[in-house]
Amino acid sequence: MFSRQHRKVKLLFGLADTLLISIAFLAAYGTRFSLNAKGLFYWVFYIDFRVAVVLLAVSALCWLSIGHGLKIYEKLDTGRPGALIWDTARQCGLGAICLVMAEFLLRLDLSRFFVILFAFYAWVLLCLLRLNAAYLAGVFRRRFGTPRFVLVVGSDESARRVGRAIEKSSQHGIRLLGFLDDEPGQVRLAGTYERYALSRLPELLCERVVDEVIFAVDSQRLCGLEEVFRLCNEEGVRTRVVVDFFPHAKSLAYLDGLDGLPLLTFSSAPHDEIRLLAKRAIDVTLAAAALVILSPIMLVVALLIRVTSPGRAIFRQERFGLNGRKFTIYKFRSMYQNADQMKSSVAYLNQRSIAFKIPDDPRMTGLGRILRKFSVDEWPQLWNVLKGDMSLVGPRPAIAEEVERYERWQRRRLRMRPGLTCLWALGGRDALDFETWMKLDMEYIDNWSLGLDCKIMLRTFPQVLIGQGAH
């Protein structure tokens, strides 16, 4: 399925989820209210209409966000039944927790039985939809959808790969008409397709329904197809070009513009300005709130550092940020004042080839060990987040001597704004070897989404609270 079409399908599933969640909310409230009328509960449960609207809106937003984070909408019409049921159960369970948190913040007093009923009804209704999603989508397309007929220019392996992808998308209403190529014969994939000479394209456009033409040829041949592009443009036929001129490049390609000039852009790091802006807004909001809440504790920690060992409470160090920009990072000092001068004398204890990391570092103060264990030493970096040097979630900011020793593929981690936590924090924090740490950063960059950020933050808090994986 084409990406834009897939986004439309996800939107439709999201709207269906919103409707079913609303039905579940009303059904749960009606059930709880009727049971109260029958005298089964001593406590009279009633929700004001305006409060109910707010709770329903919060519930729908949380449910959809969780579903997006769990990537449920990516696999609704292709996923395995067991996985769909389990993912839906996780979505409803987390949604119920969010509802309870909203109740606490709004100072309401909801019936726990209502919340459980709401989550259960939502789970049943969503499972019914999702287990029949493929069938319902097929019925919808047959009744209301119009098949899209596609011609592919070329017949080499690249064109065949496009053909196989179209065949797999037949359930989404995409039909492969054949291939445009000057070589005679047929192309055999799952089905058998005719090869039409390029000179027959005007005739085919008149005789057949052709919605799109996909060019799957090498870059040298593409230059000679200008007349074919012009013909499709004059006929109003949509054209697409397979951009696999650089087979070893894994970048995402998209079209941009500069003062009216079309630019084919390749990006191997997140580039969606809207989602990145949303990520930045979340960073600023949460960092500002955390600084306000934690400032009294941070003041006490700073005083304890000054009292227990000589030197400044805040440690400053130059780090590399987004695209190699240098900035000053702030941390609570966890080592003795002359730790840098002692580095050469303890270098033999280092257990990593590039990053300098010593378990039970002898340069660490007694208080510093506690701060490190529970990541309290990182709290001043909330100021870096607020300034824009860092994000709440992202690869850890590297020092200059590490960056100088990076392999080429490892430098791509600099293309994402560094953060306080990331996938490595979930995989073992300081217990990870450097190679695994780098690969987890690449995995984060390749799969980044706002939902993934949320998942990482929620899973980081328990590990920090129990001090797991930190040295």
CA 381/CA 315 separation, integer angstroms: 11
State how far the Cα of 332 lies from the Cα of 295, in Å rounded to an integer. 13
Cβ neighbours of residue 100 under 8 Å, at least 6 residues apart? 110, 115
Nearest to 152 by CA among 191, 192, 188, 179: 179
pLDDT(245) > 70: no
Instruction: Give tens-digit pLDDT for 23-47.
Output: 999 998 888 878 776 666 666 677 8
The neighbour count for residue 25, using CB atoms within 10 Å, is 22
- Judged against a pLDDT cut of 90, whether residue 205 lies above it is answered with no
Minimal CA–CA distance to 166: which of 154, 158, 174, 178? 174
Spatial contact of 196 and 186, defined as CB atoms under 8 Å apart: no
Question: Residue 105 has what pLDDT?
Answer: 81
Is 295 a residue whose pLDDT tops 80?
yes
Contact 215, 243 (CB under 8 A): no
Distance CA 195, CA 181 (A): 6
Residue in this structure with the two tokens 């400032």, named with its chain if needed: 295
> How far lies 412's CA from each of 247, 268, 321, 436, 442, in Å?
18, 8, 12, 15, 8
Task: State the Cα–Cα distance between residues 216 and 241, nearest whole angstrom.
Answer: 6
* Distance from C-alpha of 173 to C-alpha of 171, rounded to nearest angstrom: 5
Closest Cα partner for 32 from 133, 111, 126, 121?
111
Q: What angle do CA 313, 318, 323 make, to 5 degrees?
A: 140
| CB neighbours of residue 420 within 10 Å | 24
Residue 372: pLDDT above 70? yes
Query: What SS3 class is residue 97?
Result: helix
For the four alpha carbons of 437, 443, 448 and 451, in that order, the dihedral sign comes to: negative
Q: Which range (14-28, 35-49, 123-137, 430-444) has the least confidence?
A: 35-49
Q: For position 299, what pLDDT does the model report?
A: 95
Percent of the chain surpassing pLDDT 70 = 83
Enumerate the H helices of 226-330 as residue ranges: 226-235, 273-308
With CA atoms as reference, report the closest residue to 181 among 231, 232, 215, 219.
215
Identify the pLDDT of residue 297: 94
pLDDT for res 85 = 87
Average pLDDT over residues 201-215: 88
C-beta separation of 152 from 216 below 8 A? yes
282 confidence band (pLDDT: 50, 70, 90): very high
Strands 174-180 and 192-196: what pairing? parallel
pLDDT at 341: 65
Q: How far apart are CA 149 and CA 153, in angstroms?
A: 14
Are 423 and 469 within 8 A, CB to CB? no
Higher pLDDT, 219 or 383: 383
Q: Model-level pTM? A: 0.64
Other beta carbons less than 10 A from residue 9's beta carbon: 18
- As a whole number, mean pLDDT of residues 45-64 equals 85
User: What's the pLDDT at 404?
Assistant: 85
Kindly report the CA angle at 442 between 288 and 242, in degrees rounded to 5? 115
- Residue 385's pLDDT band, with cuts at 50, 70 and 90, is very high
Residue 298's pLDDT band, with cuts at 50, 70 and 90, is: very high
Give the residue-averaged pLDDT of 439-460: 89
Q: CA 12 to CA 418: how far, in whole Å? A: 35
Over residues 80-95, the mean pLDDT reads 86
Q: Is pLDDT above 90 for 78?
A: no
Q: Is the pLDDT of residue 331 over 60?
A: yes
194 contacts 186 by C-beta, under 8 angstroms: yes
**pLDDT band, residue 122 (cuts 50/70/90):** very high
**Backbone φ, ψ for residue 324 (5° rounding):** 85, 10
Residue 99 has pLDDT above 70, yes or no: yes
Quote the CA–CA distance of 76 and 131 in Å, as a whole number: 8
For residue 48, which amino acid is it?
A: D
- In the chain, the domains with their CATH numbers are 3-140 (no CATH), 147-245 (3.40.50.720), 273-338+347-466 (no CATH)
Provide the percentage of residues in the chain whose pLDDT is more than 90.
Answer: 21
Of 76, 95, 61, which Cα lies nearest the Cα of 12?
A: 76
CA 284 to chain centre: 19
| Residue 345 pLDDT exceeds 80 | no
| Closest-CA residue to 225 (of 215, 240, 237) | 215
Instruction: Determine the pLDDT at residue 351.
Output: 59
pLDDT confidence tier of residue 329, bands split at 50, 70 and 90: very high
